[in-house]
Structure 1
Amino acid sequence: MAEDFKKITEQNSNYNDLEQKSVSELTEIINNEDKTVAQAVEEVLPQIKNLIESVIKQVKSGGRLFYIGAGTSGRLGILDASECPPTFGVSDDVVIGLIAGGDQAIRKAVEFAEDNTELGWQDLKAYNIHKRDIVIGIAASGTTPYVLGAVKDCKSHDIPTGCITCNPKSPLANAVDFPIEVVVGPEVITGSSRMKAGTAQKMILNMISTALMIKLDRVKGHKMVDMQLSNHKLVNRGVQMIREALHIDETQAKALLDEHQSVRQAIAYGQKTHQ
């Protein structure tokens, strides 16, 4: 571990006697700290760009994007991965989220699962991981053994890697090809990286998956034309997209959507027949 590595995520909070503060004071403190997160993310946009470009390259070559993490970091990766199929209509094996301890750890912590340096690679091997894939380790500390072991094994198998961490010069950042070190400073509650660190991770994950899906042509203009029509709200949204694209009334748009069961296909058919 580098001599100058310091766990900023574990440094003492800038606030004392939290239990004595009013709810109004607490919300103001938390909000003020949250305001600093977007600026911290902005400072690492070049690193985010580099990682996203590699992700796009790998996925377009037939690979998959894996997120791997423990605790909050693992849950955020799974959240981002799980939202890609309904939002963009891709298969659920394009973006895959893994968490130390398996799916049961999504809801309830699995003791010491994150301390196993071999478990991450085992979880990846269960998906027959290969060189066209890319793995992003998510760990606020940059030291989580489950994540660190996984990316090191990926490197030894020539699988490209990236990371999202909130401590500079961490072992995790040093172990990957495309490190993102977003330094948000101490948490309001000392060491509670579900707060600012988690917010920063969520923002960056949003960028990665959204940019990837746009570059995979899963967005037309600014519309989610490949979204799964899984509830009335989304069906209604789809009808409005078709109306706007084809300049037709709601009844006609609804008929096209009912026929094609896809916003993209309905628009394409409508544009073809109106030529």
Structure 2
Amino acid sequence: MPDWLTIGLRSLGVFALTLLAVRVMGKRQTSHLTFFDLIIAIVIGVIAATTSLNLTDGLLNGLAALTVWILLPIFLFWLALKYKTVRDILMGKETVLINHGKVLEDKLKEVRFTPEDLLSHLRRKNAFKFADVEFAMLEPSGDVSVLLKKGNQPVTATTIGLQVNHESVPQTVMLDGVVMDEPLSAMGLNRSWLHTELEKAGVAPENVFIAQVDSLGQLYLDLFDDTAQVPQPKTKDLVYATIKKCQADCEIYALGTRKPSAKKLYSQCATDLDQVIMELKPLLKR
């Protein structure tokens, strides 16, 4: 058998084995690699390459080495799940770099961080002044987690006491101009509804690149033609305006009628609608 064919077949076999190993070892190997993970990935790659090119003393020796470097990390990761001491040895510990706004110089030396390194990591977290940082920690993956001081944290609905409702994940109902029936059915909708909404927006189905529907049934579109302007959904605004109009009409009717029973009925309806508006406002006006 020619050498090129032998190397090709050997490479295909090692590639399949390495791909299987990556899947067995889990997705954590490919995201936020620790130093230990990086070493394992490099060694496995080197062994796979040398085995493919027949640079080892036989195929079985290369496969044996590859098997050891696959199974041993799996066993160590299993131990790490059980024992924190093993986790600390394999993955390292978190290190506090800033505590209560004070930069800990001894901790910077411990992790071999220069002041420039610290400031660079803070800038990546949109903290351009170290004085704005209450707490910063170096994670085992090498990333720096930052907690801003209370006065510098972004305003959220909770901090201003605004009540908001939960919102489910939007469903993608069209991709590349193709209608996706399963997400439509999951939202309780159908193609007829979709085509009606597209007609309202004045958009042809074949010109839709991506279409998504949120939990309120509003349709969001992105077109192949980037110069075309797509009207923004107005469902929530229309619902809010309709309820407000009904509430105002009930107040007018209550003031305009002379019949006590009708006045009481309209006044009660206006009060009930006002309560409904207060409860729905966080959902409809965000």
| TM class, shorter-length | under 0.3
Larger fraction in helix:
2
- TM-score w.r.t. the length of structure 1 is 0.20
- TM-score w.r.t. the length of structure 2 is 0.19
Q: Which protein shows a greater Rg?
A: 2
